[in-house]
């Protein structure tokens, strides 16, 4: 898919901005603080319901404005007609439209537009909290498996209920029903995640071998959130019940899942240099984008924030060559064009941002 139009109002320092990107590589340059990243945040917000720099209420709305508005139009390879989505967000409330009709859940916008973002905080996918890695898996599944979301919702709802009962010190009989519900949804949820990670494995290994060969052969392992090799989730919940009743929350299950990378040449993620952590995160994100393309028949939009400050020239070139071969639409931001682009025969669409205004492009 490729974005054909991005309009925003009240986005960080932009009173109003309108971008008409091209299908290939779109380069957005400008000085520090000009507003380049904000444009990628707008896309990310539409595709994830949040920015990669936090929630809407944490500064995404321009000072003094009551809300921000984003409008995105894009073309899908498999569909003739253009698609369009609009979002008005006040930090508390939001109103969204997709293809002219109101949406009742932000997830509807996120399901429609697929964007993979790599930005200076992306190393947290490897070195940060487990929640970031769960979100990564769930985002991928959300886009490639239509029945994943109902399963995920069912599990999340049951978990909420069980935790509320644990806090209220409910009796065992009341907990039984929710343990059953958690097990019924949590087991298939776990199988999907496990299978998804297995499918990512060869793509991830190939990308990591190309981008970060010093790590040796890499392997992805899923950690389900309970001792699954020993007993099913229903038994794990029962065994943890006394402890959970004391703690007031559910201590085992897919909401505690994680995945980790085994490295052939280093002991573990603690031994990664910052650059290696970034390249590992980028390998994971591009593996996910490739997998999405293989299943859905089209690439997600790829947004690379501040590419030159994240990767050295050699790595920039490898990533760009791979993306050029893929025909994905790519957005790259930087204070100037990444040095790797200078040596490549690439057709570029250029935009320049100055003090919250788009000039040229
Ligand atoms: N809520 C807000 N209201 C008004 N201005 C804001 C708000 N939030 C951020 N800004 C300003 O908007 C700009 C943010 O721009 P952004 O992070 O997109 O810049 P950038 O061009 O990517 O910069 P850099 O090269 O430094 O990463 C900054 O100048 C910042 O001070």
**What integer pLDDT is reported at residue 64 of this predicted model?**
94
Q: Are residues 171 and 110 in the same domain?
A: no
Residue linked to tokens 């970060």 = 212
Q: Are residues 270 and 140 in the same domain?
A: yes
From CA 98, how far away is CA 94, in angstroms rounded?
Answer: 13
Range of weakest confidence among 157-161, 169-173, 245-249: 169-173
From CA 243, how far away is CA 251, in angstroms rounded?
Answer: 8
Is it the case that residue 81 has pLDDT exceeding 80? no
- In which domain, by residue range, is 218 found? 130-296
Q: Are residues 261 and 346 in the same domain?
A: no
Q: What is the pLDDT of residues 7-53, one digit of tens each?
A: 999 999 999 999 999 999 999 999 999 999 999 999 999 999 888 88
Q: Are residues 193 and 289 in the same domain?
A: yes
Q: Quick one: which atom of ligand 1 is closest to the CA of 353? A: 21
8-state DSSP, 5: E
Instruction: Give residue 220's Cα distance to chain centre.
Output: 18
Q: Which of 247, 279, 296 is the last residue of a domain?
A: 296
Q: Are residues 165 and 275 in the same domain?
A: yes
Q: Quick one: which atom of ligand 1 is closest to the CA of 62? A: 3
**What integer pLDDT is reported at residue 58 of this predicted model?**
84
Q: Are residues 286 and 331 in the same domain?
A: no
Q: Are residues 358 and 283 in the same domain?
A: no
Is it the case that residue 361 has pLDDT exceeding 70? no
CATH number, domain of 195, equals 1.20.1050.90
The reply to whether 121 falls in a domain is no
> Which of 10, 34, 309 best tests ligand 1's pocket when mutated (most atoms within 8 Å of CB)?
34
Q: Are residues 191 and 206 in the same domain?
A: yes
CATH number, domain of 9, equals 3.40.50.300
pLDDT classification of 103: cutoffs 50, 70, 90: very high
Dihedral over alpha carbons 225, 121, 285, 350 (to 10 degrees)? 160
Range of weakest confidence among 30-39, 52-61, 69-78, 106-115: 52-61
Is it the case that residue 86 has pLDDT exceeding 90? yes
Domain count, the chain: 2
From CA 185, how far away is CA 247, in angstroms rounded?
Answer: 23
Distances in Å between the alpha carbon of 19 and those of 15, 94, 172, 324? 14, 23, 58, 21
Q: Are residues 209 and 327 in the same domain?
A: no
The reply to whether 317 falls in a domain is yes
Provide ipTM, 2 decimals. Answer: 0.96
Range of weakest confidence among 52-56, 144-148, 194-198, 231-235: 52-56
> Which of 16, 35, 54, 356 best tests ligand 1's pocket when mutated (most atoms within 8 Å of CB)?
35
């Amino acid at each position: 898919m490729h974005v054909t139009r991005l309009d925003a109002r009240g986005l960080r320092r932009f009173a109003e901005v309108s971008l008409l990107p091209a299908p290939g590589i779109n380069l957005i340059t400008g000085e520090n603080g000009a507003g380049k990243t904000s444009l990628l945040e707008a896309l990310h917000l539409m595709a994830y319901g949040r920015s990669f720099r936090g929630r809407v209420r944490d500064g995404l709305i321009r000072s003094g404005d009551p809300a921000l508005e984003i409008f995105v139009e894009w073309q899908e390879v498999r569909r003739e007609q253009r698609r369009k989505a609009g979002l008005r967000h006040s930090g508390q409330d939001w109103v969204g439209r997709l293809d002219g009709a109101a949406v009742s859940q932000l997830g509807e916008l996120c399901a429609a537009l697929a964007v993979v973002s790599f930005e200076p905080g992306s190393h947290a996918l490897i070195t940060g909290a487990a929640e970031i890695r769960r979100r990564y898996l769930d985002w991928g599944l959300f886009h490639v498996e239509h029945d994943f979301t109902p399963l995920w919702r069912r599990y999340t709802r049951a978990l909420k209920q069980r935790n509320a009962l644990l806090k209220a010190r409910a009796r065992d009989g009341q907990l039984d029903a929710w343990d059953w519900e958690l097990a019924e949804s949590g087991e298939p949820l776990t199988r999907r995640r496990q299978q998804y990670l297995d499918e990512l494995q060869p793509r991830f290994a190939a990308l990591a071998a190309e981008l970060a060969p010093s790590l040796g052969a890499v392997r992805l392992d899923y950690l389900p959130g309970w001792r699954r090799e020993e007993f099913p989730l229903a038994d794990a919940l029962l065994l943890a019940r006394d402890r959970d009743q004391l703690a007031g929350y559910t201590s085992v299950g897919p909401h505690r899942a994680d995945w980790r990378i085994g490295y052939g040449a280093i002991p573990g993620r603690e031994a990664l240099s910052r650059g290696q952590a970034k390249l590992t995160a980028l390998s994971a994100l591009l593996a996910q984008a490739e997998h999405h393309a293989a299943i859905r028949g089209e690439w997600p939009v790829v947004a690379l924030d501040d590419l030159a400050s994240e990767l050295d020239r050699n790595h920039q070139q490898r990533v760009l060559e791979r993306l050029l071969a893929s025909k994905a639409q790519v957005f790259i931001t930087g204070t100037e064009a990444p040095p790797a682009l200078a040596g490549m025969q690439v057709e570029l669409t250029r935009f320049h941002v100055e003090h919250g205004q788009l000039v040229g492009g």
